[in-house]
Structure 1
Amino acid sequence: MATAQKKKREEMSGIERLSLRVSSMINHPVAQIQRWVTIHRLDTDGDREWEEVMGLLSETDGIDMAFNDDGSVKLRWDPQGEEERVAEVENLFEVAMDEPAPF
């Protein structure tokens, strides 16, 4: 079982892993209540992946981004209907995962 999970994790691209992590943070119940989350860049997040995901977030209506001195990014959003919010976040990262890697 652990080998299958490890293989699946290795098959995910860097942008998929980052997109999944950010999406999970945004959709966390505490983040949904407070309507903000701080995303920290990990050592495993490549420059291209980080820039791509941050670019997608910056183009999303209703999300305000603040870049902190420590390299983290604080996202804030306005309250919306539950269906709209979930659909927007899911659609945002579906686009990122469907695009082929440039190499």
Structure 2
Amino acid sequence: MAKAKPQTQRAPTSIELLGARLQKIINGPTAQKNRTAIIYKAPDEIQEDWDQIMEAINDTDGVYVTLLDDGGAKLHWDVPAKD
């Protein structure tokens, strides 16, 4: 029986890391309870990644983005109706 080659894991991309960080904030208990979160781009994050994710969030039905004067963004969302 041939040995399977070990899978090499690639490092996450900068946008994947940013997405994971924002997802952690949005999925936090306080944000979920209040259906709102305020997020900021970290100094070491790439502006193009931030812009791409903000556009994707803004294009999501039921999610609303308000850009703040200090560079952050306030997100709030509707809770989907249960069938």
TM-score by length of 1: 0.66
Moved over 3 A (4+): none
Higher RCO (Cα < 8 Å, 6 or more apart): 1
Tell me the equivalent position of 1:54: 54
Tell me the equivalent position of 2:40: 40
| Bigger Rg, which one | 2
Q: CA deviation at 1:80?
A: 2.4
Distance 2:73 2:20 in 1: 16
Distance 1:47 1:30 in 2: 27
Structure 2 segments unaligned to the other structure (5+ residues): 1-8
- Higher-helix-fraction structure: 1
- Number of residues of Structure 1 aligned to a counterpart in Structure 2: 74
Q: CA RMSD in A?
A: 1.8
Per-residue CA shift, 1:6-38, capped at 9, x if unaligned?
Answer: xx8x92211011000111111111110000000
Q: CA deviation at 1:44?
A: 1.3
Structure 1 segments unaligned to the other structure (5+ residues): 1-7, 83-103
Per-residue CA shift, 1:40-84, capped at 9, x if unaligned?
Answer: 1101110110011001101100011000011000000112268xx
Distance 1:65 1:54 in 2: 8
SS at match of 1:11: coil
TM-score by length of 2: 0.81
